[in-house]
Amino acid sequence: MCGIVGYVGNKPASGILLDALEKLEYRGYDSAGIAFAGRDGIKVYKTCGRIKQLREIIAEESKSDSSRDGEFTVGIGHTRWATHGRPSDNNAHPHCAHSGKVAVVHNGIIENYLELRAFLEAHGHTFSSDTDSEVVSELIDYYYSGDPVSAVRRAEMQLKGSYALGILFSDYPWQIMAIRKDGPLIVGLGKDENMIASDIPALLKHTRDIFRLGERELAILTKDGVTVMDSYGERIQHEFEHIDWDIDAAEKCGYPHFMIKEIMEQPDAIMKTIGPRIHDGKIDLGLKHISEEDLKGITSIKIVGCGSAYHVGMVEKYYMRHLLGIPVDAELASEFRYDSPIIDEHTLVIIISQSGETLDTLYGLREARKRGARVISIVNVVASSIANESEDVLYTWAGPEISVATTKAYSTQLVLIQLLSLHMAYIKGTIDEKQLSASVDELMAIPKMLSDMLKKVEPIQYLASQYFNSQDVFFIGRNMDYSLSLEASLKLKEISYIHSEAYAAGELKHGSISLIEDGTLVIALCTYRPLLEKMVSNIKEVKARGAKVIAVINHDDDETENVADHVIRLPECGTLSLPSLTIVPLQLFAYYIASLKGCDIDKPRNLAKSVTVE
């Protein structure tokens, strides 16, 4: 989703802003732009296309006017992911008001932009783009009569929807302003320079001291300092958080793509997620607000998320139901939030989100809290909106995930929710100390098993080489295998653009089997032993119609091996570690296929890492 950066300091702003924008490329974008503030007013460069093109345009301009480039030390930049109006030069940000006095970059959606646009047009303002964002620069301009704070605040009060904004005023070329609601915006404090950005990797080269701007807080940044005001205009002080990530965490470190780097990091990431929460064979989640007594009183569970986070819920619901003996459902956040969910103080809502900023998930969380449910979030990005608004938060501690297609975040969410399930089961008395300790040992063994699996990727590379020209790929499975199929299919389609679907194997004959023809690839997940025979029948059904079948198995089973064309064999393991092991070869399969097809793996078309719009 759109990325915002801003710089104010002594150094030339253009290189800093372009580099920072590149660090946000992973969010997905179709156009990019920068506005500088200088003594001759605001200068905007923007283009449809990649940051490389923007870099060339700015370099070209500074060649023709050698005095120019070094002169700008204040600017804001943007990567746009089109929502209102197709990708084009005009629709790219920054948007500069026609007066030339105000420039704005925006991430989010202004829901009442048509109404505001009509109002502004009636007052003589004109528009050059089809975007919702351009109303923001014109509206601020409309209210501006010399006082930028009052203009921004008055305009912001009229906006409905979500927004993170970076703002320049030509009359105040020594400062940038920022304000946000329901979208991420981080302020970074440096020496004689300060910055804003949508995400931490964009700031790391210049500062490691950051804070997240709160809802509707307004920040004014100059090279000497940062002033923050709440929505009542009161000055507030933020504690700075020191980011101690190794900068390598946000770099590829020799891997061709972030995705493969992040796949390979999974054993480590899982260890970081579970290791610190196990003490003497017992689980310590460090929940601050939801007590053991509260957890004992929980009579139903909803797991809410989007995309892969939802798929984690789909896997875990089977396990939790079995373990706790209470109703557990996985819900898509975009449905849950509008579905008048039947929940109360005895319901535990588990919100899952890597970014902690997905808008539907954030609104799902608010709906859950409004209805009185107990809420625990599983989040990767520390102090993100979802983390901040949850009753209790469990961090995955997976480190930054840059590739749009999630891998290590998914895997760490999975083990963390498993820890939570075991913890609840122990408290509720549905498992005893011995069972708890055996389960904890099983989880702790996952990193080593995964790391062994990741040393032998050649068989998966071979399968990818056989099938990368497929037009359609179907994934089938039953129970947890079905849930894992959903994730495997999503991985493949999002990065390789091959049409792929996941089916509960029993549903095949109710329609989609008509799509199977000679050579269609079907990947059958056969790890759920109680229904193995049924899966073998399903494989036979698709084979009879000409399908090629790759079976994923975790045990010696001649019948499945004989009936399938290929097998992916997992190490022997228990049911708790099985999902974590099953998904990894399928992530690799998607990765190698996309790589053979020459796809832009880390930044697949039309997709965004952090979806901050509905």
Q: Which residues are the active-site residues?
A: 2, 609
End-to-end CA, the chain = 11
Name which of residues 457 to 476 contact ligand G6P (CB under 6 A): none
Which residues lie closer than 8 Å to 438 by C-beta, 6 or more apart?
Answer: none
CB 390 to ligand G6P: min, Å: 13
Residue 546 — left, alpha, or beta (φ > 0 → left; ψ -120 to 50 → alpha)? left
Determine the size of the site formed for ligand G6P (CB under 6 A): 15
CB 422 to ligand G6P: min, Å: 22
Q: What long-range pairs does 139-147 form, CB within 8 A, spacing at least 24?
A: 140/97, 140/102, 140/104, 140/167, 141/97, 141/98, 141/99, 141/101, 141/102, 144/101, 144/102, 144/169, 146/171
DSSP letter string, 384-415? -HHHHHSSEEEE-------SSS-SHHHHHHHH
Which residues lie closer than 8 Å to 248 by C-beta, 6 or more apart?
Answer: none
609 touches ligand G6P (CB under 6 A) = yes
Contact by Cβ (8 Å): 496, 590 = yes
Per CB under 6 A, the list member of 177, 306, 365, 525 interacting with ligand G6P is 306
Distance separating alpha carbons of residues 106 and 117, to the nearest angstrom: 16
CB atoms within 10 A of CB 139: 27
Per CB under 6 A, the list member of 309, 375, 425, 513 interacting with ligand G6P is 309
Stretch in the footprint of ligand G6P (CB under 6 A) among 291-299, 348-356, 391-399, 533-541: 348-356
Q: Which amino acid appears at position 392 of this protein? A: D
354 touches ligand G6P (CB under 6 A) = yes
CB 386 to ligand G6P: min, Å: 8
Per CB under 6 A, the list member of 79, 129, 308, 577 interacting with ligand G6P is 308
CB 15 to ligand G6P: min, Å: 29
Using alpha carbons, select from 131, 54, 68 the residue that is nearest to residue 613.
131
Contact by Cβ (8 Å): 586, 491 = yes
Residue 555-594 contact track with ligand G6P, rule CB under 6 A, x = bound = ----------------------------------------
CB 487 to ligand G6P: min, Å: 9
Per CB under 6 A, the list member of 35, 168, 185, 404 interacting with ligand G6P is 404
CB 126 to ligand G6P: min, Å: 36
Nearer to ligand G6P, 554 or 612 (CB): 612
Which residues lie closer than 8 Å to 579 by C-beta, 6 or more apart?
Answer: 315, 414, 480, 483, 484
Per CB under 6 A, the list member of 355, 411, 554, 595 interacting with ligand G6P is 355
Contact by Cβ (8 Å): 560, 523 = no
Per CB under 6 A, the list member of 47, 361, 577, 587 interacting with ligand G6P is 361
CB 402 to ligand G6P: min, Å: 12
Nearer to ligand G6P, 420 or 449 (CB): 420
Nearer to ligand G6P, 351 or 547 (CB): 351
The encoded tokens of residue 412 equal: 């760490």
Nearer to ligand G6P, 76 or 611 (CB): 611
CB 372 to ligand G6P: min, Å: 23
Nearest residue to ligand G6P, scored by beta-carbon proximity = 307
CA 208 vs CA 24, 203, 482: distances in Å: 16, 7, 42
The encoded tokens of residue 378 equal: 């599983």
The encoded tokens of residue 252 equal: 């590829």
Stretch in the footprint of ligand G6P (CB under 6 A) among 3-11, 257-265, 304-312, 466-474: 304-312
Nearer to ligand G6P, 354 or 520 (CB): 354
Residue 367 DSSP label: H
Per CB under 6 A, the list member of 201, 307, 341, 477 interacting with ligand G6P is 307
Residue 612 DSSP label: -
Longest dimension (CA), the chain: 80
The encoded tokens of residue 224 equal: 């000497």
Binding site for ligand G6P (CB under 6 A): 306-309, 353-355, 358, 361, 404, 406, 607, 609-611
